[in-house]
Amino acid sequence: MFSDKANKIFQEVIEKYHEIDDVDQPFDNPYDPQTNLIEHLLYRKCWIDTVQWHYEDIIRDPQIDPVAALKLKRKIDASNQDRTDTVEYIDSYFLEKFKDVEVKEDATINTESPAWGIDRLSILALKIYHMAEEANRKDASQEHRMACQAKLDVLLQQRVDLSTAINQLLDDIAHGRKYMKVYKQMKMYNDDELNPVLREKK
C-alpha cells in the first residue's frame, strides 16, 4: 500500500537527519528522480519538514539573538514555500498517474488532495519520533513519561487512521470513484507583486 511506502521513507529520513541532528547539515536524497520519482519527492518532503521542525524549536529560544531570529524567520519562510512546492509536485505525480482513469458519473471530490494528506502523514511521523523520545527520556519524571506515552499511543493510532484514509483515497481515484482537482496554494507573502510591503520596496 502507498502509505506503507511513505511511512517507511519518512522514518528513514528522520533517522538519517538525527545521525547529525543539525539544521545546516547537507541534504543528500538517495532516490533518483529519473527512476524513483515518488520516492524522491517523499524523501525531499520529509527532509524539509524535519529541518523546519528543528528551526521551530530554535526560534522559540527566549534568549535567541534578535538578528539571528530574523535570519531564521527568513529560513522558515523559504522552507514553507519549499514545502508547498513539493506538495504540489507530489500532486502533479498523481495527476499524471491517474490521467487516463475513466471517472464515474457519480464520482465525488475529496476535501483535500492526496499530497496534502501525505503532508500531514509526514508531520505525524515527526510527532511520533519526538514524542517517543519524550516517553523514554531517562532524565524526565515518571509522570512526564507516562503522559507522553499516552499521547504517543494516540499519535500511533492517528497514523493508522490517516494511512488508511490516504490508501482509500488513492484507490477511489484509481477506480474513478473520486477525482482529483488541485488548486495551487497561491501564497502571496513571498511575491513582490502581491505583498504590498515588498512591492513598495522594489
**Domain assignment present for 198:** no
Q: What is the reported pLDDT for 199?
A: 62
Task: Tell me what the mean pLDDT of segment 127-138 comes to.
Answer: 98
Q: What is the reported pLDDT for 15?
A: 98
Query: Residue 40 in contact with residue 32, Cβ under 8 Å?
Result: yes
SS3 178: strand
**Domain assignment present for 199:** no
The structural domain count of the chain equals 1
Residue 14 has pLDDT above 90, yes or no: yes
**Domain assignment present for 201:** no
> Could you tell me which residue, 190 or 35, shows the higher pLDDT?
35
Predicted TM-score (pTM) of this structure: 0.91
Q: How far is Cα 118 from Cα 180, in angstroms, rounded to an integer?
A: 15
Residue 36 has pLDDT above 90, yes or no: yes
Q: Which helix (H) or strand (E) holds 109?
A: strand 108-109
pLDDT digits (tens, 9 = 90+) for 50-63: 999 999 999 999 99
Going by C-beta distance under 8 Å and a sequence separation of 6 or more, which residues neighbour residue 130? 53
Query: Which range marks the domain in which residue 170 is found?
Result: 2-193
C-alpha cell at 49: 519538514
Task: Tell me what the mean pLDDT of segment 115-135 comes to.
Answer: 98
Q: What is the reported pLDDT for 18?
A: 98
